[in-house]
Each structure stands twice: as structure tokens, then as C-alpha cells.
Copies of this chain bind each other. A is one copy, B any other.
């Protein structure tokens, strides 16, 4: 496995793979790799001949007071995880490689970035779309793999790729969950043992949502209320949002119909947890 720290080096790796006629997949990550990332790597290996994992804790997607400084960076472990899972090249640039001087150029997506996490994290998605554009331009991949866990991010990136005619395909892979249902996340590390137990209520609220819809409840307001009740069983939880939105436009819905996204964000101790499910009622 190659480990490239510079843009020139990863481009050389990819050029060699290209010259051998290989297709190239990219799994963009902030490191602290877990089984969720591994599922993306496996999806990439099944689709592409040559798999690149980028590891970069991108400063421009963190707001003031967020966890940029304390975000875990277990570099050697991450490299070992990549090697173990058959990754061909890791691209692990430093901040000065990705942002060598004041960054004046930004890629932004309107409307889709306003609701949900956009409300509490202004500038977050602009940081994500900008760094993904850089990564796509640097690696020149055919396919890039993202997790459904970050549902809004996936919708935003897909729209960016479509609008700007970025010559690659986006694959969104299912959320990977712990045995009790909690979505796997690098930020679960911030939870105390008790908070970790309580955190399952986030998933349970989504399961309840799915059950209510399956039982024919189409009243989004009622569903949200019942989801909030489940979340409020956790002492000290702060609910940031409980939303039922159109899965493509991310507009809040009154009536559940078509493809909808139920999405939750809470704060529990020092952790901010997000989770979601897609429900497609159009076939029902």
C-alpha cells in the first residue's frame, strides 16, 4: 500500500494505476477509521480496481467551538486498517498541502445546506463541498463513496456533482450500526459509558418513526412528537432537530409521502450525534 502525503505523490500513484487501465475509487475520510469506513472501503473494492482512502481532518468544515482540535487522529492505526482491508493508496496530506495559503475559492450548495445540520453548523457544508472538490480534483477518481449516516452531506455532494458536471459517480453506502443499533461514528468516543447506553434512543426514535409510517401514520408532526418523547427519556439530552423531510429537496414535510428522510441530531455530553433513516412509501 502506498502512503502519499503530497498531491504530487498521490497523482503519481493514480497515474500509474490509470496507465494500467484500472478504474479508481475514492473513500474520503477524516480518519479515526471504524467499521463504517471499512464498509465504504469494501464497497470501493467491489466496484473499482484501485482504491484510494483520503485521511484529512478538514479545518474548514469545523465551526468555532467545534471539535476540530480534539477530533481523534490515530494515524498509524488508520494506515494499518487501510492496509488490512486491501486499500491501494492512502492520501494523508497535511493542512498546508490542502490549504497552502489563504483559501479564497469555495464551492457552495444553496438551499440543501440550509435545514437540518446547516442550521447549527453555518459554513460546515461549504467546507465539505470545497474539500471534496479539491479531493476529487486531486485524485481524479471514477467513483467516490460516502456513508448514508451523513445523509445531508450525501444529498449535498450528489447535487454538487450533478450541477457542476463533476465527472464521477457518487455511491452512498448504508449506515453501519453497533449491535444495539447506534450508528457507528468517530464521535461515539466522546460518550461516557452511561451516555453510550443512552445513545441507543436516537436509533429507537428512528425505528419508531419507521413503525408509525408502516402502520399508516402520515402525520409528520405527530411522528416527530412521538420521536421526541423517546429521545427525552435520556437525562441531559439536548435535541437539536427531529425532522421529517423530502429525501431529495430536504424540505420539511407535513404529510409523509414518497421518499422521506427522518433525521435526528442531539447533543449528549460533549458529543453531537446524528442519525437518520430513509423511508420510501411510494411502493406502499
Give A residues with C-beta under 8 Å from B. Answer: 7, 11, 103-112, 129-130, 133-134, 137-138, 140, 159-160, 163-167
Contact = CB atoms under 8 A, between A and B. Distances in A.
A186 to B, nearest CB: 25
Contacts of A108: 105-106, 108
A162 B163 CA distance: 21
B104 A105 contact: no
B109 A138 contact: no
Which 5 pairs from chain A and chain B are nearest by CB?
A105-B163, A137-B165, A105-B160, A104-B110, A134-B165
Quickly give the copy total for this chain. Answer: 2
Contacts of A166: 137
Contacts of A7: 165
Nearest to A105: B163
A95 to B, nearest CB: 14
Nearest to A100: B162
Contact of A140 (B104, B130, B134, B167): B167
Q: Dominant SS at the A interface? A: mixed
Q: Which of A7, A111, A112, A137 has the most C-beta atoms of chain B within 10 angstroms of its own C-beta? A: A137
Q: Which of A140, A165, A166 has the most C-beta atoms of chain B within 10 angstroms of its own C-beta? A: A165
Contacts of A111: 104
Contacts of A134: 164-165
26 contacts: A7-B165, A11-B167, A104-B109, A104-B110, A104-B111, A104-B159, A104-B163, A105-B107, A105-B109, A105-B110, A105-B129, A105-B163, A106-B107, A106-B108, A106-B109, A106-B110, A107-B107, A107-B133, A107-B164, A108-B108, A130-B164, A134-B165, A137-B164, A137-B165, A138-B165, A140-B167
Q: Which of A103, A105, A134, A138 has the most C-beta atoms of chain B within 10 angstroms of its own C-beta? A: A105
Contacts of A110: 104-106
A168 to B, nearest CB: 9
Given A104-B109, A105-B163, A106-B110, 16 more contacts: A11-B167, A104-B112, A104-B159, A104-B163, A105-B107, A105-B109, A105-B129, A105-B164, A106-B107, A107-B133, A108-B108, A130-B164, A133-B164, A134-B164, A137-B166, A138-B167
Contacts of A109: 104-106
A13 B88 CA distance: 31
Contacts of A160: 105
Q: Which of A106, A109, A134 has the most C-beta atoms of chain B within 10 angstroms of its own C-beta? A: A106
A110 B140 CA distance: 25
